[in-house]
Amino acid sequence: MQNSSALQVAIVGTGYVGLTTGVALAHLGHTVVGVDQDPGKVQMLREGRSPIHEVHLEDLLRASGEQLRFTTHLSEGLQGADVAIIAVGTPPKPNGEADTRYVEAVAREIAQHLTEGQRLVVVVKSTVPIGSNQRVASVIARVLRERQVQAHVSFASNPEFLREGMALYDTFYPDRIVVGTADDHATTVLRQLYRPLLEQTFTPPPGLPRPSAFPLPPLVTTDTTSAEMIKYAANAFLATKISFINEIAGLCERVGADVTEVARGMGLDTRIGSRFLQAGLGWGGSCFPKDTQALQAVAAEYGYTMPIIQAARDVNARQRKLMVEKLQRTLKVLRGRTVAVLGLAFKPGTDDVRDSAGMDVLRMLLECDVHLRAYDPVALDAAQRALPDMEVDWAYTAQEALEGADAVLIATEWEEFQTLDWAVLATRMRTPVVVDGRNVLNPAALRAAGFTYVGVGR
């Protein structure tokens, strides 16, 4: 796969974003070194095992051979590197601001390892508050000054738009690639890095065929601040879109409309579009909650309010509470009841439980003294690690979770839940009540199977 336009890339942080990006860049023919401070993770990756559940990731990791190596030493990754991509996490601080301390620490370390005359493009892929790219540049410049080393460092902001569970698909077939920089060299190098994606000249990896009539993605070049803002604005908009349909769903319930029909009818208007109009338990994960909060924190810094973002967040929080209320309305008394929660990952296709709506509902139900059974096809271990001291019976099959339960709540739309034999399960429960928090079951079929069916806005 080696070719003349191949670059040497160091990716710092091999989490959901860094690992997916590294594996994809290696497939495109670049030579990639993944750097992570976690020796356990690096060891796993060296053995060809993925620390995260993401479809096709492990196969592609194993197929990458010499193109992709892993280390805990940044200096090793930087040797001969053309590009260093920073993809470490930016967790929220107590005030909601994204914490850039890891990003800055990596920037400092990069500067400590740069050698005289080295040319490097430093790319920030982590989602960082407005102005952080400039901060990275000044941190690196300061360390180089202190060390009296002359290196030619260019900077670019290059936000990611990959969805967990679809991470490789989104990386290989992006809608657009955004590069924010004031430096022509950075633009040139990043255009070279992403050329196989921009021109779609790579061989699709097994299991990830190119969609038919896939339009070539544009490279959006802009200034760093706008690039940082594009990421936040896109995520805030998508989160708002979901909260909007969830708000409509509440009214649908009251007037007797079906929100899935409403969303279909709305979505066919090409100005609106049908995606991200799925009503339910609302959004979770490592991005929408954190990014909407971070956007507000930035706004607050400038004395500005963002009432739409606030409303989107409020509706999303209410959506989780409503689910508990629905259970309570149906079962009347919650205390002492046995409720099975199916789905703990924040969405299907991942083992990520960060800010998962299902996990939140689990916590709320525990506070109501409900006896809980929980099952997830892949996120069970992660859920147990996240709630180690909670009195939850972790079940290893959906059937086991439902046995003798008073109600079942679907919190994640795993396909597996749609194909369960609900007619048989109805006979195994104490009372066949299903609260479909993701509107994935067929209400008529469930009712025919003997269930009391409660959906969201239908």
> Which span (75-83, 158-166, 190-198, 429-437) binds ligand UDX, by CB under 6 A?
158-166
Tell me, letter by letter, the H, E, C secondary structure of 326-365: HHHHHHCCCCCCEEEEECCCCCCCCCCCCCCHHHHHHHHH
Binding of ligand UDX by 276 (CB under 6 A): yes
**Residue of this chain nearest to ligand UDX (CB atom):** 15
Question: Rounded to whole angstroms, how far apart are CA atoms 124 and 179?
Answer: 10
| Cα-to-chain-centroid distance, residue 202 | 25
Binding of ligand UDX by 18 (CB under 6 A): yes
Task: Tell me how far, at minimum, the Cβ of 8 lies from ligand UDX, in Å.
Answer: 19
For ligand UDX, give the closer residue by CB, 22 or 29.
22
> Which span (159-167, 196-204, 253-261, 328-336) binds ligand UDX, by CB under 6 A?
159-167
Site string for ligand UDX, 345-374 (x = CB under 6 A): -xx---------------------------
Binding of ligand UDX by 36 (CB under 6 A): yes
Site string for ligand UDX, 241-260 (x = CB under 6 A): -x------------------
Please identify every residue annotated as catalytic: 287
Binding of ligand UDX by 417 (CB under 6 A): no
Binding of ligand UDX by 284 (CB under 6 A): yes
> Which span (283-291, 330-338, 427-435, 441-449) binds ligand UDX, by CB under 6 A?
283-291
Binding of ligand UDX by 238 (CB under 6 A): yes
Binding of ligand UDX by 288 (CB under 6 A): yes
Binding of ligand UDX by 285 (CB under 6 A): yes
Strand partners, 409: 341, 435
Q: Considering only residues 21, 31, 127, 157, which one is a binding residue for ligand UDX as defined by CB under 6 A?
A: 127
Binding of ligand UDX by 37 (CB under 6 A): yes
Q: Considering only residues 62, 93, 108, 163, which one is a binding residue for ligand UDX as defined by CB under 6 A?
A: 163
Binding of ligand UDX by 435 (CB under 6 A): no
Strand partners, 208: none
Task: Tell me how far, at minimum, the Cβ of 263 lies from ligand UDX, in Å.
Answer: 8
Strand partners, 34: 11, 70
Task: Tell me how far, at minimum, the Cβ of 343 lies from ligand UDX, in Å.
Answer: 10
Contacts of 314 (CB under 8 A, 6+ apart): none
Q: Considering only residues 172, 194, 283, 414, which one is a binding residue for ligand UDX as defined by CB under 6 A?
A: 283
Question: Rounded to whole angstroms, how far apart are CA atoms 400 and 47?
Answer: 34
Q: Considering only residues 17, 120, 156, 433, which one is a binding residue for ligand UDX as defined by CB under 6 A?
A: 17
Binding of ligand UDX by 169 (CB under 6 A): no
Question: Rounded to whole angstroms, how far apart are CA atoms 212 and 226?
Answer: 32
Pull the structure tokens for residue 55: 């479809």
Q: Considering only residues 59, 62, 161, 318, which one is a binding residue for ligand UDX as defined by CB under 6 A?
A: 161
> Which span (13-21, 331-339, 380-388, 393-401) binds ligand UDX, by CB under 6 A?
13-21
Task: Tell me how far, at minimum, the Cβ of 448 lies from ligand UDX, in Å.
Answer: 27
**Residues near ligand UDX (CB under 6 A), total:** 40
Q: Considering only residues 171, 278, 296, 439, which one is a binding residue for ligand UDX as defined by CB under 6 A?
A: 278
Integer distance in angstroms from the first to the last C-alpha of the chain? 52
| Residues found near ligand UDX in the complex (CB under 6 A) | 12-18, 36-38, 41, 87-90, 102, 105-106, 126-127, 161-164, 235, 238, 242, 276-278, 280, 282-288, 346-347
